[in-house]
Amino acid sequence: MSPNQKQEILQLAKTWMRDELIPAHKRKTEELKDLKAFNINHFLWPYLAYFLEGKTDSETLARVLILPRALGPSINTMFGTRAQALITRLFAGNAYGSTTPGIDIEFVDQIDGRRKYCQLKAGPNVINRDDVTIIREHFRALQNLARTNNLSLQTTDMMFCLLYGEQDQKSTFIKELEKDYVVSMGKDFWHRFTGDSEFYHDLIQAMGEVAKEVNMKEDIQRITKELARSIEKEYPDLIK
C-alpha cells in the first residue's frame, strides 16, 4: 500500500463515518424520546436515578434510560456491522466478502502472503461460551470442505479477528478459542490486513478528527425533555 493509497483509504473511512455511521447513530438516538423504546427494569430504575444524581425527577429518570442506550452497546454493534461492509469496500483488492458459511471476510495476509478465512467482530467483549462452540464448528466445516476440494488450508489460515482492542483485553472466551485458532485484534489485525504497522493508529486518529465535528448536546437535552414529559404522565408516583 503506497502512501497515497493509504491517505485515500483514510479519507474514505472518514467519509464513511461522517455520512453513514454518525447519521445512523443520530437516528437511533432520536428514537429514544419514545418511552416504548425501552424495556425498563422497574426494580433498578429509581435506584439508578438516585445513584446518578440523588433524585428521581423526570429528567434524571429519562437520562438513566437514554445515556446507556445512546452511548452503549448499540453504537458498538452498529459500528461492527457496518465496518465489515466498509472493509470490503475500501480494500476491494485485498478483502472479499465470503460465501463460505460462518466466514465473514477473506483476505490475503500481508505478513505471510496466505489467504485468511476470517470471522470478524468489533471488539474484545463480543462473544460468549456458546459463540466459541459455533465458531469452532464453522472452522471445522471449512477444514472439511478444504479437504474435500483439495484446497491448501492450514489451521493458521482460519482467524478470529477483532477490529479494535489490546492483547490484555482478551476475554476468557477469546483465550479459549485461541487454543485452537489464531486470534488477531487491533493493531495486529490491521497490520496483517494492510501491511502497515501504523495503520491502526492512523485510522483511530482519522476517525477522531471526524468526531470533533459532532456535538449532540442540545439534541440529547431535547430528547431527554421529551422523554421526561412522557415519564411524568406514565409514572407520576416516581417523580420526587
pLDDT at residue number 94: 66
Q: Which residues make Cβ contacts (< 8 Å) with residue 55, sequence separation at least 6?
A: 49, 240
Q: Which CATH superfamily is domain 3-238 in?
A: type ii restriction endonuclease, domain 2 (3.40.1560.10)
Three-state DSSP class for 113? coil
pLDDT at residue number 137: 94
For residue 70, with 0-12 CB atoms within 10 Å meaning exposed, 13-18 middle and 19 or more buried, which class applies? buried
pLDDT at residue number 68: 94
pLDDT at residue number 124: 86
For residue 144, with 0-12 CB atoms within 10 Å meaning exposed, 13-18 middle and 19 or more buried, which class applies? exposed
Angle between helices 22-30 and 58-71 (to 10 degrees): 150
Instruction: Show me where the domains of the chain are located.
Output: 3-238
Q: Which residues make Cβ contacts (< 8 Å) with residue 68, sequence separation at least 6?
A: none
Q: What is the pTM of this model?
A: 0.87
- Cα–Cα distance list, 192 to 94, 112, 166, 210 (Å): 11, 8, 15, 25
Answer whether 81's CB lies under 8 Å from 73's CB. no
Full DSSP string of 125-151:
T---HHHHHHHHHHHHHHHHHHHHTT-
Alpha helices in the chain (DSSP H): 3-16, 22-30, 45-53, 58-71, 73-90, 129-148, 172-178, 187-194, 199-211, 217-234
pLDDT at residue number 93: 65
Q: Low-confidence residues of the chain, pLDDT below 70? A: 93-96
pLDDT at residue number 2: 83
